[in-house]
Chains A and B, each alone.
Chain A
């Protein structure tokens, strides 16, 4: 009989609860459950969850016909104005031939006019984007961070300058070379997970998604000083890993990063206290860009060495935070790191 290790048992649980697990596997699972409290808990949670779905009737909940009718009417109104796409009809082929010269003419004009008037150089296939943000060398890396990097067999990325890019990576074309003023930064290779020595925040948009191996609360160092992101492998780095600067480095780093925040398309600034945070400022769109610049100016005046800044890299605004704005600041629980989180946003936490 095949023996499983613990991680193999969770996949048996759904069938076990549906009474669809083969007898052989039932025996295996039950024997394992008898000695594994964690899997037993998982089973209990699954039972509770399926029971909850049943008692609430969430899967069979009647949707009010008025809602369905409203959606349907809107859809029909929308599609009433368009034909479904068909493949290779004679009509389409004719349309294709008619539009090719027109499209070509438009393309030529679009390309030629700006070039002729402004005499702009043609952009290279891999344009350089000035990320313009050099954080001074950090000389006082925490012991934990250093040990982390040593165990990864990596060169110490904190020994040189490193770059933080907080713009929207989504808008950069594939193959874009991130150029931190041509200085000593760790440019990521597009389409790859950043390796040791690369700053996590400069991961390319096409990097494999950040997957968190386990669901847990905010990571902290054993000595409570906060973590440096070592970026040895972003796939093993919990999303939301904060990195903080030693206080003697904070001021320049903070200011530079605030400058960069002007360009980031999603920025949250939260005041942090224990495991809760108060939203201080939040920006989501261009309309508020000038406003945010003014606020950043004001903030520069108020930074002092007592403030630590942590940056969060994440794409998925946790729903409670999603509902916040600066007028609406309230106390919220910090987002927890959860399995499957992916992507980018920036969140600045300021402990109080």
Chain B
């Protein structure tokens, strides 16, 4: 993706909304994917993406050319997702009646998918949701690196600068994060059939009563 020109940044700094829209057009899909990777669900991801862009607009004056604008935006994005999750835990009594059986039936996805998908596509979407939830369940350090590298496609150098780590550390953590993710996904797989069995048993017990 092309780096936005300095001119564009200057225009945004001068309050040019059209220029800001242009910047969003460049990166909004990628930022949304990062938010999805960080939060694991569409609704939170949308909120985080929105908050990220508002912060980008507000703090553009503090952006310096030392970092490319999109690594700078990613840094804001990751911090926003982290703060969002903390604050959500702090202030909300969460009541999300969501189980592993209901992957892909979140509000966000219903909004995204107004049309039924062909089976193959639906399977793929379901698999993405599963992976995404796995990523969101990773510890923050591992998640950040995995999302920045494997979802956002940043270079190791950019990630290292972004997270203030040595490149070697980034690579090392990335390889560990990938392995953790695979472990997590396998764990989820092994839990799922058991949960289904248990809920079936509960239901049949309920009927017997």
A residues in contact (CB < 8 Å) with B? 10-15, 41-42, 45-46, 48-50, 52-53, 56-59, 61-64, 66-68, 70-72, 74-76, 78-80, 82-87, 212, 215, 265-266, 282-285, 287-288, 315-320, 322-325, 327-328, 330-331, 333, 338-342, 345
Contacts and interface: CB of A to CB of B under 8 A. Distances in A.
A15 B171 contact: yes
A265 B90 contact: yes
16 contacts: A10-B176, A42-B175, A49-B181, A49-B182, A56-B131, A61-B33, A67-B46, A67-B108, A72-B24, A79-B20, A82-B58, A84-B57, A284-B92, A325-B93, A325-B95, A340-B141
A90 B112 CA distance: 46
B6 interface: no
B142 A58 contact: no
Contacts of B151: 53, 58-59
Contacts of B193: none
B142 A339 contact: yes
Interface in B91-116: 91-99, 108, 111-113
A266 to B, nearest CB: 7
Nearest to B46: A71
A341 B140 CA distance: 7
A74 B50 contact: yes
A12 B13 contact: no
Contact of A322 (B53, B89, B142): B89
A11 B166 CA distance: 11
Given A72-B24, A325-B93, A341 B139 contact: yes
A78 B54 contact: yes
A53 B133 CA distance: 13
Nearest to A20: B156
A340 B182 contact: no
Contacts of B33: 58-59, 61, 63
B157 interface: no
Interface residues of B, number: 79
B81 interface: no
Given A284-B90, A285-B91, A42 B179 contact: yes
B13 A56 contact: no
Contacts of B76: none
A183 to B, nearest CB: 31
B132 A58 contact: yes
A263 B112 CA distance: 41
B69 interface: no
A93 to B, nearest CB: 15
A288 B17 CA distance: 43
A81 to B, nearest CB: 11
Given A49-B181, A71-B53, A58 B128 contact: yes
Given A50-B150, A80-B17, A331 B198 contact: yes
Contact of B178 (A46, A78, A316, A318): A46
B29 A340 contact: no
Nearest to B149: A14
Interface in B169-191: 169, 171-172, 174-176, 178-183, 185, 187, 191
A45 B94 contact: no
B168 interface: yes
B49 interface: yes
Contacts of B149: 14
Contacts of B98: 323
Of all A-B residue pairs in the complex, the 7 with the closest CB atoms, nearest first, are A340-B139, A340-B141, A49-B178, A45-B179, A11-B172, A11-B171, A13-B175
B127 A56 contact: yes
A64 B142 CA distance: 27
A190 to B, nearest CB: 21
B79 interface: no
B13 A52 contact: no
Contacts of A58: 33, 37, 128, 131-132, 150-151
B99 to A, nearest CB: 8
B61 to A, nearest CB: 5
Given A84-B12, A84-B61, 7 more contacts: A10-B171, A42-B176, A59-B150, A67-B112, A68-B28, A323-B96, A331-B198
